[in-house]
Structure formats: structure tokens, C-alpha cells
Amino acid sequence: MVNKVKKTEFGIIPEEWDVFKLGDCSNIYRGGSPRPIQDYITTSDNGVNWIKIGDVKAGDKYITSTEEKIIPEGISMSREVKVGDFILSNSMSFGRPYILKMDGCIHDGWLVIQNYQSKYDAEYLYYLLSSEFVFAQYKKLAAGSGVQNLNKDIVTEVMLPHPDKIEQEAIALVLSSMDELINNLEKEIEKKKNIQIGIMQEYLTGKRKLSKYENSVWEKKKICELGYLVKNSINPQDYLNELFWEYSMPAYDNEKTPNKTRGDTMNSMRLAISAPVLLFNKLNVRQRRVWVITECKNNSVCSTEFLPFVSNKVDLQFLRELLLTDKITYDFENMSTGTSNSQKRISPESFLEYEVFIPANKKEQEAIASALNDANEEIEKLKKMRDKYVHIKNGMMSDLLTGKIRLV
């Protein structure tokens, strides 16, 4: 038997599902703020929860607490919200829903959706409002009205599918189970990261040593005593039709993969490099872009925003881990100069003159780097597993919310 379907604003859905305008099956209001707000903030236990954007993170589903409270006299100038209500930011760049697990008040940067329970299960509605189908409607309605932010009129007009409550609950249960799996992986990743940070700080400062090197000697060395910076500049415009392998900041951010680029597309100088080399990004050092290239093709070049460091006296993987530590990042940031925080650079001279504390034995350096790399690989495996489940969940979400896959 072929299931009949129909085309709606939400997409193709089963024929027996209803479609409702969100404003017809709920009440939608904008928040409000007593002013000046500082006159209403209180630390009293009798205060009313004052819900701000800063109280939530992008991955949160529920709001369970607030940093601030307001005095009860502020309620009449704000918008009171209750447990089970949905709130979403007016900002189109944010705009995702949160389910309240507490009572409180919201300012005019929020919208609240109330009294939806006769038609929708809360968990199911959460996934509907988080879906690409709803965000596509937001954008279309906003474009038609000429506004850049969400408002009550836009949210009121959003069309939503309506299977029966049993099917809603079944869909929500499957998606919630996937979220729980993903959240557990996130927690495991954070746990291992925190453990790794502690281990890194101990191994990279000599406070903790590998059993084979318990009696090893560590020494202070300036980076310039360990190697040198490559200064072989090249103008790609002199080689218009040649192909280069370009190591740039965007390439680093894109899974640390160099870009294959023609000379005529690069409009500024580059530095010619060969492996092995450590690339330290001198711009905005708190971004911690430190790249060890163990092998590279001919015609490899890097951005002049990198300091290419070559050495046969220190293990480059060990040095990379050392340069990524909080202390060195903090020191380099304080040594950087520039017109704004995002445009500050550390000079090559400051980089080379910086003193590091390292094992005298290069084999010990390699062993420490290998141990830390093993921990990194374990975390990366967990991240890949998390990303895989996120991809699976997103596909399931699309199919379940449109009835392409039926659970009952």
C-alpha cells in the first residue's frame, strides 16, 4: 500500500497529518524589560529569575537557572514565563528554541510561545522549531517583511505539521535518544580533554616524567638556540601557471589540509617551505595555530602570517605541544603588538628570543610528544564518532518530521 502525501509549507508530509499555523495553536508574546534594569536587579532569594541570552549555550535544550534575578515589582514591566514555555531569541542568527524548566521573566530580546499543549507534545515541538524547515520559513517570512530579526508576526505565520500525539511522542523519543548519545560523547570528550590538559601541563614542565626518563636533565633554551626561521620569500605572480601547495590559516582551520593553488590566484608574497618544518601563526596567537609539517610536496609555500621554524635539535611535535600550553600562549599574547586585539602579531625576534624549558635528551622529547599524540588521537576518534551520530540524527530528524519514516 502506497501512503498518500501532500505538499505543504513544511514540505511533503503524510496526507492524514494536519498542518497548523503556529499562531493558531499557541500564544506568542514578546518580552519586556523594566528600565533602568540595574534598579530592578536583586540578589534576594525572593527575586524572580531574569532570563538573558548569556544564560544559555548554543547546544542547550532547557533553561534551568539564571545568573540574575529581578525584584517582583519588575514583573509588570516584563513578560512572565512559566515552566514548559518555549522561548527563542529575536535574533535571526540565533533564533533557536529553549524549553523552560523554571518560572521567570524575559526581556524584549526574547519571544515566548505558550499554551501549545493541546496540539503539541513539548519535546516534539522542540524538534520542529529546531528544524531546517522552520528556519527556512523564518528567512522567507523575514525577507518578505523586510526585517532582519524574528518578531511575533513572523513566528505566528510559521506552518507546522501535526501528527497525532502518539506519533509525536514516538518521534521525540527517538530524537531525544540520539541527543542523549551525542551529549554523552560530548561529556566524554570534555572529560578526556580536561585529563589531557592536566597531563600536558605536568609532562611539558618536567613535573611528571615518563618512567624511562625519571632521572633526566631538563634545560632552558632560547628558541633561536634550537633552530632558525625560514626566510625564503617567493612571489607566486612570477609563476602564474604553476601549481602550489599552500599552507594558510584557512587551510589550517579546514582540517589542516593544504590548498592546491595556481600562482595567479595568490596576490601577495609567500614563503617557500620544505619538510620537516613547524609553522607558528604569529597573528592573533590565542587562536593557537601551530602546524607541524612532516612531509610536503614540491612547490609548497606558506602564508607570511606563519613563522616557519626548522630544527634538528628539538623534536618539532614536542615543541608544538609546548607552544600550545596556556602559559606560552599567554606570554606570546602579551608580547604581541598591533592596532587591535584581532590584528596583534608577535615579532619573529620575540618568538626566537623566548626561553623554553625542555628535556636535554631528544628521545625524551619524542616520547613525550608520542604519549600526548596518543591522547589526542583518542579524543579525535571520539569527535569523529560524535560527528557521525550528529549526521545520522540530522538525517533521521528530516525524515521523521516530514513523515518520510513512520514510527506508528
Residues of the chain with pLDDT below 50 are: 1
* Residue 155 backbone phi and psi in degrees, to 5: -65, -35
Q: What domains appear along the chain, each with residue ranges and CATH number?
A: 5-162 (3.90.220.20), 217-360 (3.90.220.20)
* Residue 293 backbone phi and psi in degrees, to 5: -105, 110
- How high is the pLDDT of residue 142? 86
Give one DSSP letter per residue of 315-358, joined into a string: -HHHHHHHHTSHHHHHHHHHH-B-SSGGG-B--HHHHHH-EEEE
CB 272 within 8 A of CB 232: yes
What the block records as the C-alpha cell of 356 is 623554553
Q: Which residue in 241, 322, 352, 332 sits closest to 283, CA to CA?
A: 332
As a whole number of angstroms, the distance between CA 246 and CA 399 comes to: 40
CB 15 within 8 A of CB 4: yes
Give the predicted TM-score (pTM) of the model.
0.75
Report the SS3 class of residue 151.
coil
As a whole number of angstroms, the distance between CA 264 and CA 341 comes to: 32
b/e per residue 109-119 (b: at least 16 CB within 10 A):
bbbbbbebeeb
Q: Is 35 exposed, middle or buried (0-12, 13-18, 19+ CB in 10 A)?
A: exposed
